Each structure stands twice: as C-alpha cells, then as structure tokens.
Amino acid sequence: SHELNTKFIGNKIIHFNTIASTNDYAKEIASSLEEGTVIISEEQTKGKGRLGRQWHSKINEGIWMSIVLKPDIIPYKAPFITLIAGASIVSALNKLGANTLIKWPNDIILNNKKISGILTELSAEIERVNHIVLGIGINVKTMEFSQEISDIATSLYKEDFKMSRVDIVRNIFMEFEELYMDYINNNCKEKTLNICRKYSAIIGKDIYTLKGDSKELVRCLDINEDGNLVVQTKDKIIKEIMSGEVSIRGI
C-alpha cells in the first residue's frame, strides 16, 4: 500500500534540500517538536557518523533523516532504541527484497559492506529522558565512494537492489513504530530481539572487541534479553558487552 499507516512516526516531516546535519538540527529544535517528527534532507554538508566520524551524505544519493522521540523512560532504557532502529531498517529493506544483516549494535550490512548506520543522541537528566534523536543514514543510490571507505561501504543500487527511497522510508516508519510502541508501552522486546538475532551479521562469528587501544578476539554467541552482546573469550569466559566499537574479522 502507498499509505503511511502510522500513529505518530512521520506524522510531521520537515524536509530540506540541504542542511548541515539532520541530527544537529533536530537536537536544536527538539523541545518544540512533537514526538515522531522526522527531519529529512536530500543532502547533508556536515553529516555525522559515530565516534566523531564524517558521514558522506551526497545529494539525492541516500536517506539522511532523524526521528525525534520523547519516550517517558529512564536513560538506562534508551540504548535499546538503537536496536529497535536496526531491526526496523533490516525488516524494511528485506521486505523490499534486499538481504541485509545487522552488525550489532549500529550498522546495517549488505554483502559484507556497510550500507546504513545509526547515530542515536540522547538528551537526559538523571532520572528521565528529555528526548532522543535517532539519526539514520542509508546509502541508496551511491555508486562511487571516496577512497577511504570504498572497501567497506556500499549502497543498495550498487548491490543491484533498486528500490525507491519513499518506499524504504515508509516501511521503516511502520516497522519502527510497531517495535517502539511494544517497547515503550509494554516493555516488550521480543520481536526486536528476534529480528536482531535472525539477521545478525556477527552471531556465531569471531569478532574483535575494541576498547581504547586494546583488541580482544572473542566468539560472538548471542544477543541477550537486555540487548547486550554475549561473547566467549579465548579462556572460555562468557562476557556481556553493552556497546562500544565492535569490529568484525572479514567485514
């Protein structure tokens, strides 16, 4: 169907041709926006990735958007929303015919390369969340990437999945709203976790966990009920990883 059947996600969409960063703009005006408002731009001149990196966001080549959320939760519960976003992106893209996977917790992978990243920015006080800006970048039509990232990045078109950006956005809104409402209203994480497990790029694989300068090789076992990554060390110790940079061998 070509309708947007959501209750609040994407009810209001603020569209730009060009902007520095949809996340920065959303953060600036978040307090005056209703929950579910989406800032989307055809181009970002200062697109931000995680860990202070740049996010290439050329005109008309992708989906560069931020969803403003105002859940009544304690800050501790916020990181799970990144998993909800990842699960909705993968569901949306795969329903349209792609075969994407989630590289827990922030990246979406297609044919071993990154096509999408999530940048969640939280504004909170000690006991409550003010707002969350959920930034989503998806490489849709990009055919050439700059040299530094050409080995690790790809786009849907480049991998021969020619789908419309409007269809992708609509699907993400619908998938996201369902999983988000389950979590916020009913504390139900089951569907999200099942998608994260089923479409995981790392469960069953050896990965490097990066903490500062130290690398550790571990076997990735599962994503647990809290959304944390469960891994086994070389000494057969089972550990839980909450977040942080995880780099994967071979990806």
Q: Which residues bind ligand BTN (CB under 6 A)?
A: 21-23, 44, 47-50, 53, 55, 57, 64-66, 106-107, 117-119, 135-137
Least CB distance from residue 44 to ligand BTN, whole Å?
Answer: 6
Q: What's the chain's length in residues? A: 251
CB count in 10 Å sphere of residue 168: 22
Q: Which is nearer to ligand BTN, 86 or 227 (CB)?
A: 86
Tell me: is residue 22 an annotated ligand-binding position. yes
Tokens of 104: 């827990």
Least CB distance from residue 180 to ligand BTN, whole Å?
Answer: 18
Q: Which is nearer to ligand BTN, 10 or 47 (CB)?
A: 47
Q: Which is nearer to ligand BTN, 232 or 243 (CB)?
A: 243
Q: Which is nearer to ligand BTN, 57 or 171 (CB)?
A: 57
Hunting for tokens 């795969």 — which residue is that? 94
- Give the Å distances, CA to CA, from 212 to 97, 208, 238: 38, 12, 21
Tokens of 30: 């978040």
- Give the Å distances, CA to CA, from 240 to 37, 96, 213: 34, 33, 19
By beta carbon distance, the residue nearest ligand BTN is 117
Tell me: is residue 21 an annotated ligand-binding position. yes
Least CB distance from residue 11 to ligand BTN, whole Å?
Answer: 19
Residue pair 1/94 in contact (Cβ under 8 Å)? The answer is no
End-to-end Cα separation, the chain, in angstroms: 36
Least CB distance from residue 64 to ligand BTN, whole Å?
Answer: 4
CB count in 10 Å sphere of residue 45: 11
Tell me: is residue 162 an annotated ligand-binding position. no
Tell me: is residue 100 an annotated ligand-binding position. no
Output the known binding site for biotin: 21-23, 44, 114
Output the known binding site: 21-23, 44, 114
